[in-house]
Structure 1
Amino acid sequence: MPAAALDQQLGDLLGATGIVLFYLIVWGLVFAGTALFLGVFIPFVTGDSLLFGSGLVASASGDLNIVLLVVGTGVAAFLGDQVGFLLGRRYGRGYLERRGGRRTLVAIARTESFYRKFGWWAVVIARFMPWARVFVPVIAGVGRMNYVKFLTSNLLGAVAWGVGLTLTGYYAASIPGVKNAAYVIAAVFIAASIVFGYRTWRADRRAGSEAATTAEFPGQRHTRDR
């Protein structure tokens, strides 16, 4: 859905529901996008366009508090991924396989590959990718990612995506071209993830080679270690 169309709909929603309910609907959609897998079915209504559009509405309306909006959005994004992670950790891959048909299974396979490549950074940059945003937290839970590591990556992702995109929408009305800042943020995280992902791949490959050598020539390794 184009941002302009969603912006208009959000503006109409604000007029029909009032301030408090508007906040709750935006935060609820952000939370449900990952926690309840709503993003699988309506990714644009629970993703980037929603955040950017809500920021635009806040800028045009004198009734909405942008600080409250961005803080609530960041918290909702953070909690949504936390729920997804805990579901994956508690119920495992079987839980994912029951969530949908072939399209969902293909998305799960892509996400597993994405997570294996980028690890910690996958949770951060997945925020900017509709299909990965939904599944990466659960895959991290299935893969038993260290909880503290997930907590930190989830927090950074929630701030960069939830707070960053909402503020981008808010300032877009007064600063032409500011929408591109969202893509700059995403590009920075993706570039960092590629660098660290490559280093992880090299380390894993080196470890695999050493393990193969040890298995084939155990005596030589023992002699070297002495």
Structure 2
Amino acid sequence: MHIQEWLETVPAIAVYLLVGGVIGLESLGIPLPGEIVLVSATLLAATQDHINPYVLGACAITGAVVGDSIGYLIGRKGGKPLLAWLGRKFPKHFGPHHVATAERSFQKWGMWAVFVGRFIALLRIFAGPLAGVLRMPYWKFLIANVLGGIVWAGGTVAVIYSVGKVAEEWLKKFSWLGLVAALLFGLGSFVVMRIKAKKAAAAQDAEEKAARPENEAVAAE
């Protein structure tokens, strides 16, 4: 079976549920490739008429908003011990450096950290739970959460779908290339964010090492 024919057999409801579920779980605080899934599904919608981009965007937005809200409630109930537990279970994603970076963003930007965090892989995972842990007023969180979900998920679908439609004929002939390109794009974004996170962690380590002699000198006095 040609890949184009196989793609036509994929039920639209399965795509909608997959997108909403993965983005919702990522927003909840579980490290998942939500952006990769959203971009791939949108490119698929651009070549398959049975997948409605408006429904796809609505599912992505719903997953983002609901997932973040549940993450907020979990963070508010669990508090700092929750972050400590997550740090032990998932040190690569919830280590002290990651938490410290996210906390600094929240202290500096407040509710806008929730909005901007939707566009940054690290903060996208942290935003909901950390806003709850820091006891941000829910009405502020909800406004930033909804606006961020609409702009990020809706904007991503609109842009990627438009690009896909422009190249629709090319994508239909080489659909597998389109999917590979989408995956590479998503993986590239993920790798870039990982590199930035490692650089931030290294910088934090350097700051802590530089501060130790000062602290030891003060203690000695």
- Partner residue of 1:84? 71
- Partner residue of 1:20? 13
The percent of aligned pairs where both chains have the same amino acid is 28
Q: 1:108 to 1:72 in 2, by over 3 A?
A: same
CA offsets per residue over residues 124-167 of structure 1, 9 Å max, x none?
01011111111122111111111111110001000011111112
> Residue 65 of structure 1 is aligned with which of 45, 48, 52?
52
> Residue 100 of structure 1 is aligned with which of 71, 87, 102?
87
Unpaired runs of 5+ residues, structure 2, are 168-181, 183-221
TM-score, L = length of structure 1:
0.66
- Partner residue of 2:157? 166
> Residue 136 of structure 1 is aligned with which of 120, 127, 142?
127
Higher RCO structure (Cα 8 Å, ≥6 apart): 2
Root mean square deviation, CA, Å: 2.3
CA offsets per residue over residues 153-211 of structure 1, 9 Å max, x none?
001000011111112111112458xx9xxxxxxxxxxxxxxxxxxxxxxxxxxxxxxxx
> Residue 101 of structure 2 is aligned with which of 93, 110, 123?
110
> Residue 149 of structure 1 is aligned with which of 132, 140, 152?
140
Q: Runs ≥4 in structure 1, deviation > 4 angstroms?
A: 11-17
Q: 1:147 to 1:13 in 2, by over 3 A?
A: farther
Between the two proteins, the alignment pairs up a number of residues equal to: 162
Q: Name the aligned partner's letter for residue 34 of structure 2.
A: T
Q: Name the aligned partner's letter for residue 75 of structure 1.
A: T
Q: CA contact under 8 A between 1:26 and 1:73: conserved in structure 2?
A: yes
Unpaired runs of 5+ residues, structure 1, are 1-8, 180-226
| Residues in 1 aligned to 2:132 and 2:112: alpha-carbon distance in whole angstroms | 15
